[in-house]
Amino acid sequence: MWARELAVSAPGKVILHGEHAVVLGKVALAVALDLRTFLRLRPGAEGRLSVSLPGVGVLRSWDTPGLWALRGRICLNSPLLASIADFDESKSPSVEQLDALREFAGIAAGASAPESLATLAFLYMCLAISAKYGDVPSVDIVVWSELPTGAGLGSSAAYAVCLAAALLMVCGAISCPLQEGESTARWTEEELTLINSWAFRGERVIHGNPSGVDNAVGTWALWDSLPPVASRVPTLRILLTNTKVPRSTKVLVAGVKEKILKFPAIMNPVLDSIDAISQECQSVLEAMPANPSPEHYPVLEEFFDINQHHLNVLGVGHPSLDRLCQVTASHSLHSKLTGAGGGGCGITLLPPDTSPLAVEAAKQDLCACGFECWETKIGAPGVTLHSCSSLSAQVLHALTQS
C-alpha cells in the first residue's frame, strides 16, 4: 500500500555535439536543460493502477490482479519470456515480451505512435520492476512535461527516468528520501545508478537502440563519461528553436545504422570526425573560463557548421533545419540540429558580443517560418523527488487537471 502524494521530475537535455555518433560508442557533449518532465504519484483505488499522460493523450487504468496474471503468463508460457521474472538490468526487452504487452494493451503490431510507445514503456517497466522487486501498489500516476515531445530534447528519457524512479520507489527497491516538511530530495548514488539502468530499459522500448546519454543526463544531469564541463557550459548562451516538424528518434537511429552498414568506408570516417569535434569542443570549453577571450567563439561556431554538415551526410537533416541554419546565418549566427534531427530542434550559438537587436531579429525571422524559439538555460538538477506543495502553480495545475 502506498500512502503519500509526491512528485518526481527529470530534466531534458541538449546535445552540443555527438548525437548519433554516441550510439556507436563515440563521445557526446550533453547537458541538462531547465525544462523538465513531472510525474505525480498518489494512492489509487484498491486493486487498480492508473496512468494519465496528457502530452500523448493516454488515460488508462488496469486491474492489478489482471496485470500480475499477465506477468505470470508471460513468465510461465514461454521459456523465451521467462527473463521478465528472472530479471537482469542489462538485458533488452525481448520482442516476445513487447508483443505480449502490445496484445494485452490493444496496441497494433508495429505501432509507433507516441501514445503506443508511451503505454508500452509504462507497462513494460511496471511488469519488469514488479517481477523483480514486488508488486507495484495501487497508485494513480500522471506524467506531464514542459518538454516538447519528439523534438530532440530527450523527452523520452525524462519520461523513462521519472517512471523508473517512481516505480522503484513504490516497490521499495529504492528509498523515499523526502522527509515530512521537506520540499525536495535526491536519491543516493547507488539508487541513482539503479534508476538510470531501469530508465535505459524504458528508453529501449521507445528508441530501440539508445546510447544511454539521455537517461544518464536525466538522472545525473551530466553525461558521466565526460569530465564536468557542465559547470563551464553556462557561459554559453544558446538559442533553442523547435521547427515543430515531428520525427521519431527510433526511425532516425535505425536509418543511420543502415547507412553505416551500406557504406562503412564512407560513413565511419564521418563518425570519427564527429568524435573529434566533440573532443576538440570539450577542450575549448575547458579553456574558456581560464581565458574567456572572444577568439574561442569563432572556433565553436565552425564546429557547429562542420557537425551540421556531417549530420546531413548521416541522413538526419531536414529542409526545416536547413532553413533554420540559413535564417540564423543571415544574422551571422551559427546553428546545428540537436538530438536525433529529421526536424525537431536546432541550437544557435549566441556569442557574448551578439547585439540584442540581432538576437531579436533572428528570433522574429525564425518565428515567421512557423518555428518556436527561446533562449535556454543550460544546467539543471537531475532526477528529483518533490513534495506536491512545493511545485509551481503551473506544474501543479497541469498535473491535477489530468
Ligand X SMILES: C[C@@](O)(CCOP(=O)(O)O)CC(=O)O
Site residues (CB under 6 A) for ligand ADP? 37, 53, 55-56, 114, 117-118, 143, 145, 149-156, 159, 206-207, 248-249, 339
**Residue-wise burial string across 288-315, b where 16 or more C-beta atoms lie within 10 A, e elsewhere:** beeeeeeebbeebbebbebbbebbbebe
According to DSSP, residue 140 is labeled: E
Q: Find the binder of ligand X among 116, 211, 320, 384 (CB under 6 A).
A: 211
Task: Name the active-site residue from 52, 140, 214, 248.
Answer: 214
Q: If you write DSSP's letter for every residue of 105-124 in order, what string do you get?
A: HTPPTT---HHHHHHHHHHH
- Measured between its terminal Cα atoms, the distance across the chain in Å is 23
Site pattern 214..253 for Mg ion (x: CB under 5 A)? -----------------------------------x----
Nearest to 350 by CA among 241, 202, 189: 241
Specify the residue for cell string 516538447: 148
Choosing among ligand ADP, Mg ion, ligand X, none, which partner's interface includes residue 213 (Cβ < 5 to 8 Å by kind)?
ligand X
Q: Which of 140, 146, 191, 214 binds ligand X (CB under 6 A)?
A: 214
Q: What share of the chain is helix, strand, coil (3-state, %, to 5)?
A: 50, 20, 35
Query: Is 214 one of the catalytic residues?
Result: yes
Angle (deg, nearest 10), helices 114-133 and 155-170: 30
Packing angle between helix 213-220 and helix 189-207, nearest 10 degrees?
Answer: 140
The cell 565552425 sits on which residue? 302
Which CB sits closer to ligand ADP, 342 or 379?
A: 342
Residue choice 55, 114, 152, 379 for contact with ligand X (CB under 6 A): 152
Contact (CB, 8 A) for 95 and 108: no
Q: Which three cell numbers stand for residue 163?
A: 517512471
Residue 346 interacting entry, from Mg ion, ligand X, ligand ADP, none, C-beta within 5 to 8 Å by type: none
Do residues 366 and 373 make contact, with C-beta atoms less than 8 angstroms apart? yes
* Interface with ligand X, residue 339, by CB under 6 A: yes
Nearer to ligand X, 85 or 254 (CB): 254
Nearer to ligand X, 242 or 387 (CB): 242
Q: Is 272 assigned a catalytic role?
A: no
CB closer to ligand X, 128 vs 271: 271
Residue number with the shortest CB distance to Mg ion? Answer: 156
CB atoms within 10 A of CB 234: 11
**Alpha carbons 291 and 70: distance in angstroms, whole number:** 60
Residues 50-89 interacting with Mg ion (rule: CB under 5 A): none
* Ramachandran assignment for 296, one of left (phi > 0), alpha (psi -120 to 50 degrees), beta (any other): alpha
The smaller minimum CB distance to ligand ADP, of residues 138 and 249, is found at: 249
Of the residues 19, 140, 275, 301, which one makes contact with ligand X according to CB under 6 A: 19
Considering beta carbons, is residue 35 or 84 the nearer one to ligand X?
35
Stretch that binds ligand X, among 102-110, 209-217, 224-232, 385-393 (CB under 6 A): 209-217
Active centre residues (catalytic): 156, 214
Interacting residue ranges for ligand X, rule: CB under 6 A = 19-20, 22-23, 152-154, 156, 207, 210-211, 213-214, 249, 253, 339-340
Interacting residue ranges for Mg ion, rule: CB under 5 A = 156, 249
